[in-house]
Structure 1
């Protein structure tokens, strides 16, 4: 058996390379209390919204779905949550896909683009700025267009499993996290 040092070095370098950058939440999306323990704070915000989603509040729905998207992208790559409940992690992913289907967002859309679009939409809705709304929801990520996306946000999707998923996540001890 021959040794291939260059191949071994390449594989080692690939293993040490980060798997991508963690997504970020734009200013004004997460609650101020979510900054010192963002996963827990954002999770509480998401479950609070989906526990009793109110119609005709598209900006609140956009923020909650942006936060859900952030959780779904962040948790699998966050070393503090690597021992988290598989049921909880899978439930967050399923909740993400439910929300995306309800808004017509393709599964292949990059998470950060979805987060940024929904956060920008929430700001534009709050400011009643139609031009900013159209810019925030580009058809490449939001194929239904701004008006239809806002109409769907106004009747928020039922994301059935998000509360159970979050509960499963916080009931399993997490490395370095306190509740």
Structure 2
């Protein structure tokens, strides 16, 4: 009985648990306005990696797209909102994150939040024209060489796993959204 009383007393504290270190969130400026940042990351990263030419010579855009993948690799596999997603999507996002980390010179064991924050900070600095601040935004040992990472962001190599993962995530997002419209509300197409 004493054990049950102790557990009941601890229940209010269960909601106060700190998010695991392997989770990441997007910064407040990840989306402009009242949009859904995760939805924006899904659509934005799918577009960016399906059309890599749009990022050529634009390391600021590449940094944001890479940060979105880093975030999605933590959010989609574990977030309660995405339980209806095919598990393959989360696995592919993790593989894409690993591919991007290798291409950008990011430590494989780096905390995802540190990577997301650094890439967004670099993107902001690049958009304001401050190359030096952008390089400083990519600190070691998380980033092996900030200036080299910036150069890679300006000229990304082919990233087939990332392209596949972001396309799958977008397709799954559209499938789940469409299923919700058909099964969860609306008139089912009736007039």
Query: Which sections of structure 2, spanning at least 5 residues, go unmatched?
Result: 183-191
Deviation (angstroms), 1:50: 0.5
Indicate the structure (1 or 2) with the bigger Cα radius of gyration: 2
Instruction: Give the match for residue 96 of structure 2.
Output: 95
Instruction: Give the match for residue 106 of structure 1.
Output: 107
Q: Which has the higher helix share?
A: 2
Instruction: Give the match for residue 32 of structure 1.
Output: 32
Contact 2:24–2:71, Cα closer than 8 Å, also in 1: yes
Structure 2 length as normaliser, TM-score? 0.74
Instruction: Give the match for residue 43 of structure 1.
Output: 42
Deviation (angstroms), 1:168: 4.8
Query: Which sections of structure 1, spanning at least 5 residues, go unmatched?
Result: none
Structure 1: 4+ residue segments shifted above 6 A: none
Contact 1:88–1:168, Cα closer than 8 Å, also in 2: no
Instruction: Give the match for residue 176 of structure 2.
Output: 173
Count of matched residue positions in the alignment of Structure 1 and Structure 2: 169
Q: Which moved more, 1:53-62 or 1:165-174?
A: 165-174
Q: CA separation in 1, counterparts of 2:92 and 2:168?
A: 5
Secondary structure at the counterpart of residue 176 of structure 2:
coil
Q: CA separation in 1, counterparts of 2:137 and 2:71?
A: 17
Contact 2:73–2:93, Cα closer than 8 Å, also in 1: yes
Deviation (angstroms), 1:164: 3.6
Structure 1 length as normaliser, TM-score? 0.78
Q: CA separation in 1, counterparts of 2:41 and 2:129?
A: 25
Deviation (angstroms), 1:134: 3.3
